Amino acid sequence: MNRRSILLGAGAVLTLPLAARAQGASITGAGATFPNPVYQKWAEAARPAINIQVNYQSVGSGAGINQIRNRTVDFGATDAPLTEQQLNEANLLQFPTVMGSLTAIVNIPGIENDQLKLTGPILADIYLGKITRWNDPRIVSINAGLTLPSLAIAPAYRADGSGTTFVWVSYLAAVSPEWKDKVGVGTSVRFPAGTGARGNEGVAGTVRQVRGAIGYVENAYAITNRLVTTQIQNKAGNFVKPEHATFMAAASSADWNVPGFAANIVDTAGPQSWPIVAPTFILLPKNPTDAARSANVRKFFDWAFKDGDRLAQELEYIPLPDATKTAVRAAWSAQFGA
Amino acid sequence: MPVRRARGAGNIGDVIFEWACRGAAILVLALLGAIIVELFIAGLPAFRAFGLPFIWSTEWDPVQEVFGAGVSIYGTVVTSVLAIVLAVPLAFGVAFYLTELAPVWLKRPLGTAIELLAAVPSIIYGMWGFFVIVPAFATYLQPWIIDNIGELPLIGFLFQGAPFGTGIFMASFILAIMILPFIAATMRDVFDQVPPVYKESAYGLGATTWEVMRGVVLPYTRISVVGGVMLGLGRALGETMAVTFVIGNANRITTSLFGPGNTIASLVALEFGESETGSLKLASLLALGFILFVLSFIVLAVSRYLLRSRLKA
């Protein structure tokens, strides 16, 4: 395994000096698909920088949790944080790496990017199937100046279990008691209305193709594919656009001082906070079978905290606040020693 | 009938060869058995938790951990049967044209083209369906059908709803195209086996082409044709990727053919990645796998049974 990975790495990066390849350590991880682009970018940049070869498979959070429970990988990755009890049962340490944000995307004739204003309760009622037309009085009343057609709303959701859905329904549950009661929160839920599509590209494709459709995707995906996003009202009552400043406002107003760093960043109170932001997590065994590999995992993410912010931002991810990084490093020291 | 080996030849190579072949054959059987048993055991927690109603319960709520196979079994059966309904007349036409009407120079290239259709990977059908057929259907054809046929009494309810493009009907349509080559190829082969003297006699009596088809070829090949259809059905039941793209993936039973649904295979494919070891959800998915296995086995067994006379010959 080890030798093979190194050989693969050698084949891929012929420009590296030979000595560096021969000594490179290799670690494996598996799990969440949502942070996959940034993990791959980090892995690519870390190889020359700290001489660690990271093999990350984005197999989905659930599968990542399974693999780290069975200790078949060095680290697992999940979007939905494990509870304190689950962490203790599996003897895992959990820490965040980076944050991402979700945006609502729409396809309404005549409506351009960030023009439409929506609120959390309206989004929840759309996905509950209670608001069915774009010229519903509740939508029209907060969108003075826009002409909304009498068009059926077609909600699209992720049909495959995903961390994206987890974050989205966490938000809907936070703003709508009815959503919390009737549907709940999970990586896949029983959507009462709409149609499911596979992956971000499926949701984006459905929204692009169906007039009157609404969907949710990661902000990075919305930007690179030039999808029409909306403004959303945050907890403070302000309508905010999905942009860097509002994401950072949300991140800084989060409370990270909770078990497993399972901070809840949806619907935060800051006046400029974008309401749908979420961290993604790494799971590391507290009793690693191979201490050196475990140390290399920490070395990799330590490097990512130090030097990976720019790469993350290029991919529209949101770096952790410095105080959170310090707290994560402290948690490592407390668990594994310095 | 097995060929008797010469006694005392003592060729060690023959013995090794025989056991290697036997081993290969037994391995397949053992694998099949192991998969069935493993699926059943892994799905047992779901059968225990929900009992027999698991099969017809329409609940699928991962948050409350309540699972039922009703919607996906319904979706699997409806899309497969509808695909057969769409594909069989088309396959019949293709096979009949190839065996009776096509000029000789066209038979081979056309036959090869049909077989090539079977070699297209299903993900390609899925993407083609999602990015080409679905938008075209949703933009041009579906609104018209909903406005006109959807208003008719008796059958109108089948064609109502929002013009998403995706849904039960689209899944059936894509499936029909996918299974068409299988059915057409079987039909062509069995039509070719009708002894020419029968057909010539019928023509000699003044029968038209259609009468020969209906009165001679079809009765002679009836059972094999049904067997070929069952082979197509078996493939439709288990198709995963293409269906997942176009079926709409909602755990609801809608009366409209344009409504979204799911199938056993699509549900398993979509939910598997986010199911944890030992969870009831994973057990339910594996139980679904077991049910699909049983369904496919029944269909295949019936088709084998119906085709047995042809296969012997």
The pLDDT of residue A160 is: 85
| Contact between residue B166 and residue A195 where contact means Cβ atoms under 8 Å apart | yes
Tell me, what's the pLDDT at B310? 58
A107 with A253, same domain: the answer is yes
Q: Which fold has domain B53-312?
A: MetI-like fold (1.10.3720)
| pLDDT tens for each residue of A281-312 | 999 999 888 888 999 999 999 999 999 999 99
Same domain, A144 and A270: yes
Summarised one tens digit per residue, pLDDT across range A164-183 is 899 999 999 999 999 999 99
Number of domains in chain A: 2
Q: How far is B15 from chain A (nearest CA, A)?
A: 38
Categorize the per-residue pLDDT at A265 as very low, low, confident or very high, splitting at 50, 70 and 90. Answer: confident
Per 3-state DSSP, chain B is made up of helix, strand and coil in percentages (nearest 5) of: 75, 0, 20
CA A299 to chain centre: 22
Q: Looking at the complex, does the CB of residue B167 fall below 8 Å from at least one CB of chain A?
A: yes
pLDDT for B3 equals: 58
What is the structure's pLDDT at B145? 86
pTM above 0.95? Answer: no
Express each pLDDT in A201-233 by its tens digit.
889 988 988 888 999 998 888 888 889 999 999
CA B21 to chain centroid, in Å, comes to 31
- Select from B162, B249, B274 the Cβ nearest to the Cβ of A60: B274
Q: What value of ipTM does the predicted structure carry?
A: 0.77
Residue A246 Rama label (left phi>0; alpha psi -120 to 50; beta): alpha
Q: Which residue of B has its CA nearest to A160?
A: B270
Task: Tell me if A59 and B273 make a contact (CB, 8 A cut-off).
Answer: yes
A293: Cβ contacts below 8 Å, ≥ 6 apart: A25, A27, A74
Residue A294 lies in a domain: yes
* pLDDT of A87 strictly over 80: yes
CB contact under 8 A, A189 and B250: no
CB contact under 8 A, B260 and A188: no
Determine, yes or no, domain membership for A9: no
For residues A93 and A137, membership in a common domain is answered with no
Q: Which of B274, B276, B280 to mutate to test the interface with A (most CBs of A within 10 A)?
A: B274
Find the CATH number of the domain harbouring A284: 3.40.190.10
Residue A18 has pLDDT above 50, yes or no: no
Tokens found for residue A82: 């494990």
Residue where a domain stops, chosen among A232, A254, A275: A275
Contact check, Cβ <8 Å, A202/B130 = yes
For residue A52, tell me if it sits in a domain: yes
For residue A185, the chain B residue with the least C-alpha distance is B63
User: Is residue A6 a part of any domain in this protein?
Assistant: no
Q: Does the pLDDT value for residue A76 go beyond 90?
A: yes
Q: What is the pLDDT of residue B2?
A: 58
Residue where a domain stops, chosen among A222, A256, A275? A275
pLDDT above 70 coverage of chain A, percent: 93
For residue A81, is it within any domain? yes
List CB contacts (< 8 A) between A60 and chain B.
273-274
E strand or H helix that includes residue A279: strand A277-285
Specify the pLDDT at position B76: 94
A85 and A45 in a common domain: yes
Instruction: For residue B241, give the chain A residue with the closest CA.
Output: A198
> Per-residue pLDDT tens for A312-330?
988 889 999 888 899 999 9
How distant, in Å, are the alpha carbons of A60, A120, A273 from that of A136?
A: 37, 15, 26
- Residue A227 is predicted with a pLDDT of 92
Q: Are residues A131 and A227 located together in one domain of the fold? A: yes
The 3-class secondary structure across B275-301, one letter per residue, is CCCCCHHHHHHHHHHHHHHHHHHHHHH
Closest CB from B60, B63, B135 relative to A184: B63
Q: How big is chain B by its Cα radius of gyration, in Å? A: 24
Q: Is the pLDDT of residue A131 over 90?
A: yes
Asked if residue A205 and residue A126 are part of one domain, the reply reads yes
User: Looking at A275, A295, A327, which one is the last position of a domain?
Assistant: A275
* Co-location of A135 and A29 in the same domain: no
A190: closest chain B residue by CA: B61
Residues of chain B falling short of pLDDT 50: 313
Backbone angles phi, psi at B259, to 5 degrees: -75, 155
Pairwise CB contact (< 8 Å): A190 & B61: yes
DSSP B5: P
Residues 6+ apart with CB under 8 A from A126: A153, A155, A193, A214
B131 touches chain A (CB under 8 A): yes
Q: Which domain holds residue A223?
A: 102-275
- Residue A309 forms part of a structural domain: yes
